[in-house]
Amino acid sequence: MRKVITYGTYDLLHVGHINLLRRAKALGDYLLVVLSTDEFNAVKHKTAYHSYEDRKLILEAIRYVDEVIPEYNWEQKISDVVNNQIDVFVMGDDWEGQFDFLKEYCEVVYLPRTEGISTTKIKNDLHLGKTEHE
């Protein structure tokens, strides 16, 4: 079984997230998503709208996702990859090159981001009373 891993906050789920998860799953048979806890989001200078528990429940409902575990810190990736017998690490290419140290342990794939959508854009548009395409 070819196992894929990816990381993220996955707040206010949108097509950019779904496009990433679909392509990540297509690289193997099993997709493990390591989901940033609320505490780690603070380290990333992010404040998620949904709690960790709700973001986890939402991700677990996605057909491409097989398992969701917590991301507590920047340092856990090597042990995550080794302990879960991961074959492929996947992230959007906004992270291009940032995780190449994992190439010792697994394949590393950066996928093109989906243009024109982000959690930040959603928050800003809603604040301005705008829809996505206005």
Catalytic residue list: 44, 46
Is the CB of 13 or the CB of 30 nearer to ligand C2G?
A: 13
DSSP assignment of 101-132 equals: GGGGTSEEEEEPPPTT--HHHHHHHHHTT--T
* Nearest C-alpha neighbor of 77 from the set 127, 21, 8, 130: 8
Nearest-angstrom CA–CA distance, 104 and 94 = 21
- Residue 89, interface with ligand C2G (CB under 6 A)? no
* Nearest C-alpha neighbor of 118 from the set 17, 33, 8: 17
Scanning 62-70, 100-108, 114-122, 125-133 for contacts with ligand C2G by CB under 6 A, the matching segment is: 114-122
Scanning 15-23, 59-67, 100-108, 123-131 for contacts with ligand C2G by CB under 6 A, the matching segment is: 15-23
Binding site for ligand C2G (CB under 6 A): 7-10, 16-17, 20, 36, 44, 71, 91-92, 94, 113-114, 117-118
